Amino acid sequence: MMQPTIAFIGGGNMAAALIGGLLASGHSASHIRVAEPFAERADWLRRQFGIDVKSSAAEIVRGSQAVVLAVKPQQMAEALSGLKLDKGATVVSIAAGVRLSSLGDLLGDQVHLVRTMPNTPALYQKGITGLYTPKGTPDAARELADKILKAAGKTCWLENESDIDAVTAVSGSGPAYFFLLTEVMREAGEKLGLSPEIAAELAQQTFIGAAEMAAKTGIDVSTLRAQVTSKGGTTEAALKALESGGIRAIFERALREAADRGRELGEQFAQKN
């Protein structure tokens, strides 16, 4: 079967993650194009992936079955201004807080729009992406969007566009929460008298090992937690401190703030463009 041609508008970190994933999954370099105005970055993309890179979106969208919008939300309106996409093209946006109605206003209704929220572990094909498209979107467009994001990890389809704000709060921003937790544990280890190097290594390897254990065993994380927690032991003492310090309420609030911010960004973008 003929491979679809996929055009990326914006060749930054997330685009590189998706392109790397597509190439690793067998998509041919000759069927990937990028628009990237920053010349140094464009050169890097050419060298790294052997793909065609142009400086503006208008030069790459003709003949592309899929167009991935991978610029920052603040760059979106300019990147799409005056752009004419092929009729029936699948447009996959990965931008945080840009609603499909705003993209429809910018691109017209001759294309199929899919809004997604990936995360940075996509760089190692370990990402997870939430995707949403309206009910009437043809299966072929859904499948194409799914293929692009699956090349960077797992995908899950959502019923409502507003769910994207919740996905952003959990998995889009999520890697930062785990990095923060690692920082906090590292600092606490130092306060207990460990050297910075040892504290850092212990915290980081524990994070990696625990994640791998959850993934490999498939056992629910609350069971895994209970397995570490001996009655009357050290873990129980630590968890008691975390629970009484309000860890659940803190995370609930943090994720609510992230989702609210996503909604707010969407409103601001819609008003401005």
Ligand X SMILES: NC(=O)C1=CN([C@@H]2O[C@H](COP(=O)(O)OP(=O)(O)OC[C@H]3O[C@@H](n4cnc5c(N)ncnc54)[C@H](O)[C@@H]3O)[C@@H](O)[C@H]2O)C=CC1
Instruction: Establish if 261 lies at the interface with ligand X (CB under 6 A).
Output: no
Segment lying near ligand X (by CB under 6 A), choices 84-92, 117-125, 187-195, 247-255: 117-125
**Pick from 7, 18, 19, 35: which binds ligand X (CB under 6 A)?**
35
Q: How many residues does the chain have?
A: 273
- Binding interface with ligand A1CAB (CB under 6 A): 96, 168, 172-173
Which residues are CB-contacts of 58 (< 8 A; sequence separation ≥ 6)?
82, 83, 84
Please state the separation of Cα 5 from the chain's center in Å.
Answer: 22
**Pick from 4, 23, 37, 263: which binds ligand X (CB under 6 A)?**
37
Question: Within 157-216, which residues bind ligand X (CB under 6 A)?
Answer: 172
DSSP assignment of 70-83: -S-HHHHHHHHTT-
Structure-token pair, residue 28? 């041919």
**Nearer Cβ to ligand A1CAB (5/173):** 173
Please state the separation of Cα 268 from the chain's center in Å.
Answer: 21
As a whole number of angstroms, the longest Cα–Cα distance in the chain is: 66
Q: Smallest gap, in angstroms, from Cβ of residue 15 to ligand A1CAB?
A: 14
Instruction: Establish if 12 lies at the interface with ligand X (CB under 6 A).
Output: yes
- DSSP state, residue 109: S
By the criterion CB under 6 A, which residues form the site for ligand X? 9-15, 35-38, 41, 57, 70-73, 75, 78-79, 94-96, 117-120, 172
